[in-house]
C-alpha cells in the first residue's frame, strides 16, 4: 500500500480568479498584509502497489486527467 499526494497549481502568469477573489474577501474582512493568494488543488490517493509504481501512476494520472499541462504545474509526492 502506498499513499501519494498530488499538488496542482497554475503556472506563473496564468490568471487565478479564485485566488484573487479570496484575497479581496480576506481584505474586506479586515485581514491586513495579505500580499497574494494562489489556489492549489490537492489529491490524496491510496494505491495498492509499491511506492515507486504509485509515483509513476500518479504522474500518469496527471498527464491523462488531473492536470492541464498548458496552464498547470503538478507534483507527485510520496507520503
Q: Under 8 Å CB-to-CB from 51, ≥6 apart: which residues?
A: 2, 78
CATH assignment of the domain containing 9: 3.30.1280.10
Residue range 43-70, pLDDT digits in tens: 999 999 999 999 999 999 999 999 999 9
Residue range 21-42, pLDDT digits in tens: 999 999 999 999 999 999 999 9
pLDDT at residue 70, rounded to an integer: 97
Q: Hey, what's the cell of 63?
A: 498527464
Count up the domains in the chain and report the number. Answer: 1
Q: Which domain holds residue 45?
A: 2-28+36-78
Task: Note whether 50 and 58 are within 8 A (CB).
Answer: no
Amino acid at each position: 500500500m502506498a499513499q501519494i499526494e498530488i499538488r496542482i497549481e497554475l503556472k506563473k502568469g496564468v490568471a487565478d480568479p479564485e485566488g484573487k477573489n479570496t484575497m479581496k474577501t480576506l481584505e474586506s474582512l479586515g485581514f491586513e498584509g495579505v500580499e497574494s493568494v494562489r489556489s492549489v488543488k490537492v489529491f490524496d490517493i491510496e494505491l495498492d502497489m509499491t511506492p515507486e509504481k504509485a509515483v509513476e501512476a500518479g504522474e500518469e494520472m496527471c498527464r491523462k486527467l488531473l492536470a492541464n499541462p498548458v496552464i498547470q504545474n503538478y507534483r507527485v509526492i510520496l507520503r
